[in-house]
Structure formats: C-alpha cells, structure tokens
Amino acid sequence: MSRRVMLALPSAALMALGFGAAPASAKVVASESAAAAECVEHTDARVAKGGTAKDPNDATASEVAAAEKIFHKALADRGLQLGADGRAYDAAGRAVPGTAIPVYFNIITSGAAGSVTQARVTKQMTVLNKAFSSAGFTFQLKATKRVNNASWFNLGYGSSAERAMKTALRKGGTNTLNIYTANLSGGLLGWATFPFDGNAGDKMDGVVLLHSSLPGGSAAPYNLGDTGTHEVGHWMGLWHTFQGGCAGAGDQVADTPAEKSPAFGCPAGRNTCPAPGMDPIRNFMDYTDDSCMNMFTAGQRARMNAQWAAFRG
C-alpha cells in the first residue's frame, strides 16, 4: 500500500511509507495512533512536515523488482506486451485505450465532524479528471454515500476499522475506484492500494483521504485536491518519483529524473542526484505542496495505461 503523509513542520511534505500486500498510498498529518500498528500492509504515503508517522514498509529494490515481475506476468497472461513507449499493446499491435472509471465516494463522519459537501466532492472529481485526462482516463461519479460512524471516522491506516469500513462499503470490480474520506490517524493525508499488490477488485481496494484534503478543506497546503491525485496515481500503478533515490531504475519510468529524497514545499531548482535533470518537484508523485504539483510525465501516463491493462481493464 502507498501512503501520503502530512507532517506538522513549517512547510508541507510527503513521505514514502512501506510496500505491502494491501492499500498502496498514504499522506500523513498528525500523531501516530495504536491503530496504525494493526496489520493491513500499505506501501507508499504522502507525508507533511512535522508529523509522527513512521515508515515501516519502505519498498526495497527487491520488493520493487518483485512487483515489476508480477506486472510483466500479468501483461503476458492477457496476451499483451509493452511497447517502446511504455504503453500496453495487444498481439495485433493495437494500443490498449484509456477508459472511463466509475467512482463511489464514501464520506465517513462522526456527527458533524468530517462532513464534506457535495460541491467539494464535485471539485475533487474535477481535479482528478483534469490530472488524468492526458493519460486517457476519466472519472465518473456514480454515487456518494455518507456514513455516520465514530469508530470508522478516526481511522488508522491498516487498522481493523479500515477493514470493516471497506468490507461494508466497497462497490464494483477491478475497474471501480472507491474513495473514502475520514479523519486519519498518524498524520496521514491518504493511502491507496496498488493494482499489483493482489488487492485489485477485492474489499481492501481503493483510496482513503483525509476529509480536509479535498478542495476547500482546512489541510493547507494540502487542500486543493492533489492528495487525491497522488493517491489515485498509486492506485493506477505509479511509484513515488523518489523511489530508489539516485540509484537503479527508480520509479520504473525513464522520463522522471532521479531524485534522492522527497521534496517538500516547492523548492525550485532542487537537484539531489548527479544524473541529468532537476528534481521533479512539479510531479504529482512527489511530496510537494498541492499548489506545486501539476503534471504526470509521458512515461507515467504510459505506465498507468499498461498497469490498467494488466490489472484493472
């Protein structure tokens, strides 16, 4: 699973959390709770400065290699292959197209706490459609469900409450995005399942977001909706831009410059690796402020296409 985490230092940050078999991405905001120690494994997270979230499940090089092996086998099992551009192609040489993704929004509250207006849900959908349209993906809101449940509202990543919530609420198959908003423990801003972690289409599959990270929320500088973009990027198969640091294949995407560590705030001119290219601080898969993020690369768009074809199409 991957997590985006918001820490409480002066400027905002994202931090990679562990690689595992369930939710894929998360972002942190405050102090860690005992619930976070319960074991549904996650992989990556977005973290904000000053938070107390730990990183128990960083993806090692061998774990990334294992995930990539699963990915390539899944493509082969479907009669697909990667082209030189990183997209998936069938035996006739036809590129697998993008698609419309059905979305179910689940808003968890404790009384009035955590309430999210339908206007903010609509704005979040607009943010997602703008970010992913160039990759050939659109998001169509099918329903919004509001659940008043205090035991689910203060949600710990990997907790029994998360499992109970998702088991009760998740809808659709491998191609369906379920989004849950709540008050996340441990300073997390959000987390998501990866498509290759064995959860595609099962009850744990989906994206969890801090309710105040949606557009118009109070989690500045993470309140423009790009925690959602970051976590859906993981749900679509993307690693962090800083995966692997300066060495090796990094995030498995050739056109994202190597980056030694996550960038916080919006540090123009940052360059942490000797390889060509400045750090990709504008990339949705880094840890910079929402206002700093504005792009996926062509390689990332191609990878999402191929991951979709392998696991969700």
Please give the positions annotated as active site: 231
Q: What is the 3-state secondary structure (H, E, C) of 87-122?
A: CEECCCCCECCCEEEEEEEEEEEECCECCCCHHHHH
Whether a cis peptide bond, with omega within 30° of 0, leads into 221 is: yes
Task: Estimate to the nearest angstrom the gap between the alpha carbon of 146 and the chain centroid.
Answer: 22
**Structure tokens belonging to residue 53:** 């979230």
Checking DSSP bridges between strand 207-210 and strand 177-184, what pairing results, if any?
parallel
| Amino acid symbol at 124 | Q
**Structure tokens belonging to residue 174:** 């491998």
| Amino acid symbol at 253 | V
Give the other-Cβ count within 10 Å of 280's Cβ: 25
User: How far is residue 15's CA from residue 164's CA, in Å, rounded to a whole number?
Assistant: 26
